[in-house]
């Protein structure tokens, strides 16, 4: 190992020894590290300016724009880590799912996935499908220097909820109907999504991510027993798929106070809490 490289290979020693990565490894830190769980986005006037007139998904596929947006909160606030600018549905769009992010609504899927025949539409993700991600990481790692860069992906349950509902949902009726009504189809759907998510995170790690985050926006809609039975196996598969890289793995959900222990047991090194938890 050279003097300039960390124990996990590509990472510069200065990045490896950053307060953020030390905290992820439960090591003493010089100060409490601060970072954004997602891009600072709409709070920044410079973000609104560069995004003006550019649809969300297109913004995620322009490497120079992705790099600029990722860097903005680092420049303005001096945070301890950058979060890669993306959206949870980017890998689904990359494999050909007909979806769009509607302003004021969120991701909308043209043809929801609700039958076994629909699974065939979820093909494997390859690095070539998301070459713009690799390019953006190249731009970012040169600019960030010792500041760690966190990779980002949506968790299988939340991806499944968008695919099954066809868009955002308050009560996830179609999702729960499939989960309870056809447990095997549900398991196969989440297993397929786990493979796609793991492939997306691997691209980011190999391009230079210092840590990765699995973002489960809607999993707080489930009871703990349902989480353990219907969701945890797929999230665990994602974490296990990237474990060999040695980068910290973060898991975060919204409204998941009663699920935090179970989410940690899925394989995360760090579990995020939202504003509801102390």
Active site residues: 38, 42, 51, 87, 162
Beta bridge partners of 249: 212
Residue 182, Cα to own-chain centre: how many angstroms?
A: 27
3-state secondary structure of 116: helix
Q: Is 71 left (phi over 0), alpha (psi -120 to 50) or beta?
A: alpha
Using CA atoms, how far residue 268 sits from 180, 185, 217, 243, in Å, is: 26, 26, 16, 10
Exposed/middle/buried for residue 100 (C-beta within 10 Å: 0-12, 13-18, 19+):
middle
Closest CA to 221 of 258, 166, 193, 184: 258
């Amino acid at each position: 190992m050279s003097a300039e490289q960390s124990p996990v290979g590509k990472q510069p020693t200065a990045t490896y020894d950053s307060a953020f990565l030390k905290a992820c490894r439960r090591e003493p830190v010089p100060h409490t590290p601060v970072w954004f769980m997602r891009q600072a986005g709409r709070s920044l006037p410079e973000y609104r300016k560069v995004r003006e007139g550019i649809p969300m998904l297109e913004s995620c596929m322009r490497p120079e724009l992705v790099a600029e947006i990722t860097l903005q909160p680092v420049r303005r606030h001096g945070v301890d880590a950058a979060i890669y600018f993306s959206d949870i549905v980017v890998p689904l769009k990359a494999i050909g799912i007909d979806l769009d992010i509607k302003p004021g609504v969120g991701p909308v899927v043209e043809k929801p996935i609700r039958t076994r025949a629909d699974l065939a539409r979820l093909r494997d993700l390859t690095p070539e499908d998301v070459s713009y991600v690799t390019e953006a990481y190249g731009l970012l790692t040169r600019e960030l220097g010792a500041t760690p860069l966190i990779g980002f992906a949506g968790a299988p349950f939340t991806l499944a909820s968008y695919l099954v509902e066809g868009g955002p949902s308050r009560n996830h009726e179609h999702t729960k109907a499939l989960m309870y009504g056809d447990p095997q189809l549900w398991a196969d759907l989440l297993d397929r999504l786990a493979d796609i998510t793991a492939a997306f995170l691997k691209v980011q790690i190999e391009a230079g991510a210092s840590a990765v985050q699995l973002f489960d926006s809607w999993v707080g809609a489930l009871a703990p027993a349902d989480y353990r039975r219907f969701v945890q196996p797929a999230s665990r598969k994602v974490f296990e798929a990237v474990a060999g890289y040695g980068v910290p793995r973060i898991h975060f959900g919204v409204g998941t106070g009663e699920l935090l222990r179970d989410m940690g047991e899925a394989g995360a090194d760090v579990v995020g809490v939202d504003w509801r938890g102390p």
